[in-house]
Chain A
């Protein structure tokens, strides 16, 4: 029967052909990479640098993705304002860092605006020179973003608890637009430099060396600490158990109706804090920021979260690392302008192959 064949074909395509093609393509890339290494077209040090950059970027995206995955699993909607929460966190945190580091030497209003007018060399912020300012900034970034997430939830999402995921998604687009432009109105559009150059440790690899910058290491270490902390919180506290139950067990969600407000608040609080921290750290590592950098990261974060199986915290971390490393490695083949396009393409193909995400649709929070 023709319908039968058609059915089989699409099944075949999805479950065998597409994954097989992916495996073949990946295999070819590995072979080509090997060839390039052997012929010296790509040095081992270059490769190692790409890998390290990928891990740094991946940890940043993974950390930023946890909050998105968390609210997705609890409230069942994709929060398009998440990227702007990242920006908000970064600005809140860097305001404090600037004030702490520069008070007395510079006028307060310029410090508060993280103004590009200030001479970065004179303030001299970096993790080695002004660790206290950085730590305070990080804490404030987390706290302020958690507060923002709660306030937005109270005003925007809470009145819509029984609305469908799509209405919530569209409302979150509204939040994204408003928040980004409030930041733009206050801080204005130009990019600002935040930090001065910082020491790095060089490790020689093959034909060259890989530099581990202090800010990169800070990001990776702090992101790892925060991830482990989140894991512990979810695994070993009562509230964490409740959150996992809520996300895991749809029957329970159905029986209890809408998730309890306490769990929802915790998700925003925790997710918001991690998101703010991620924003602060991403800005620290890149050394610059503007009012739309979070929005521009949103789709990358979505890609990571989807790769990991949307709604799964561990998936978000894994997805972040995959996207991070893959995007930096792809520099070997792709011009840097097209890396993002490549990452989005990978996400779309991944969704075609496994709509539940590559790491399975099991929601583990």
Chain B
């Protein structure tokens, strides 16, 4: 075997061929090339607009990566079927809003700074996680699924009720805004980029910070607006936090703590017969995972600038499950890859495909009923490419994929993956022995 001389290129090659990382990078690149191609064919051709599309997809993808990692802790490693993901997310972001919205806002909060509001939201989501875990201690998995789903619906129903929309505690007026969209505090990224971040984007962009100025000028070169550049910075910021999530969850998985979690998933009676207080482990994992979900939703909607309770329907939870199961629950890299595939192929590409079809075939406006649609090819195309139909078709596909995965590939698309539950290399000793 001839040894090639070491150059940066060969080193990159070696890195790329290192199993998981290679898979991840190749997959990420291909998926985003696909987004680029799809944008191109749906008539989005200017670099700035394509960048905007790609960053939009990347933003959602990173969020789902984080959600899948949080859920992996509970469901993948510990086998706790938490169907309340959306509820914990809602608690996180609404608590943050109650704490940090200015007292002068239309729907006021306590006016505390974000560095209190964000940890506060995470903490309260965690506390509710621990609270919901209490029944989990004694319940079978299917009861837990129902309890967590019911919990998440309670949260949503309470947030959207008139009682919560606006209430007064000890003379302070607070509120969730009810069914309306609730304005959120200014995102911390805006503060980095604009001198006057509370102004609407168009006005704020006129007076950028030095950092903002550099980025906005760079954006101008490719025709990307300040708003796009701002979201891009936000996405990069999210990416850093996603890496931290990965680090955290992997570290837990590769530790004696993670070993107990896995044992609980496999056979709880065995774990407890070996002296592990499985209840404590379950509570901790539920609290931690739920807090992480709360954080994800805080970061998500801070960027959006507002939030509505309608976002937190159970479908959101099911999305996260599909993302995780797709890549293989119980594996962090599986969760990451599953989320990327889920977001790009299932969540985002339908709207591009719809645009492409409408661009190329120019079907008529959607007919009133499915019978009118059956009168010809064009009306049919019109019917099935309406916004509502595409959304429905996407859900149908998701349902079918879920069934397919459970029937044929319970370990996910990547097949079975093992991650060793220890922070030392378990095979290490064997190797040293063989050498001697």
Contact = CB atoms under 8 A, between A and B. Distances in A.
Interface stretch (B105-113, B393-401, B412-420): B393-401
B142 A166 contact: yes
A344 B134 contact: no
B138 A355 contact: yes
B163 interface: yes
B157 A174 contact: no
Contacts, number: 140
Given A117-B368, A174-B400, A184-B392, 13 more contacts: A78-B142, A78-B146, A171-B402, A171-B403, A173-B318, A174-B402, A174-B406, A177-B398, A178-B395, A188-B388, A302-B146, A355-B138, A355-B140
A132 to B, nearest CB: 25
Given A78-B146, A173-B402, A355-B139, A160 B395 contact: no
Interface residues of B, number: 47
A348 B406 contact: no
B150 A348 contact: yes
Contact of A174 (B145, B162, B163, B403): B403
A345 B142 CA distance: 17
B167 interface: no
Nearest to B401: A174
Given A156-B407, A306-B146, A177 B395 contact: yes
A341 interface: yes
Nearest to A347: B150
A109 to B, nearest CB: 4
Interface in B362-403: 368-372, 388-389, 392-393, 395-396, 398-403
A108 B47 CA distance: 51
A186 interface: yes
Interface residues of A, number: 51
Contacts of A188: 369, 388
Interface string A338-353: 1011001101100110
Interface string A161-179: 0010111111101111111
Interface in A298-319: 299, 302-303, 306, 310
Nearest to B322: A174
B192 interface: no
Given A170-B325, A177-B398, A338-B163, A355 B150 contact: no
B161 interface: yes
Interface of B: 81, 134-135, 138-143, 145-147, 149-151, 153-154, 157-158, 160-163, 315, 318, 321, 325, 368-372, 388-389, 392-393, 395-396, 398-403, 406-407, 410
A159 B407 contact: yes
B400 A178 contact: yes
A341 B399 contact: no
Given A113-B370, A174-B403, A184-B392, A78 B145 contact: yes
Given A177-B398, A340-B153, A169 B392 contact: no
Contacts of A174: 398-403, 406
Most buried by A among B81, B139, B321, B407: B407
16 contacts: A113-B370, A115-B369, A156-B407, A167-B406, A169-B145, A177-B402, A182-B392, A185-B389, A188-B369, A299-B153, A335-B162, A341-B153, A344-B154, A348-B151, A351-B143, A355-B139
A170 B392 contact: no
Instruction: Enumerate the 3 nearest inter-chain pairs by beta-carbon distance, A residue then B residue, closest first.
Output: A178-B399, A174-B402, A177-B399
A177 B393 CA distance: 10
A242 interface: no
Contact of B141 (A110, A159, A166): A166
A186 B370 contact: yes
B147 A179 contact: no
Contacts of B153: 299, 340-341, 344
A337 interface: yes
A145 to B, nearest CB: 18
A191 B143 CA distance: 32
Contact of B147 (A117, A169, A340, A348): A348
A345 B154 contact: yes
Interface in A190-248: none
Contacts of B407: 156, 159-160, 171
Contacts of B395: 177-178, 180-181, 184
A131 interface: no
A344 B83 CA distance: 14
A181 B392 contact: yes
B334 to A, nearest CB: 16
B369 A177 contact: no
Contacts of B138: 355
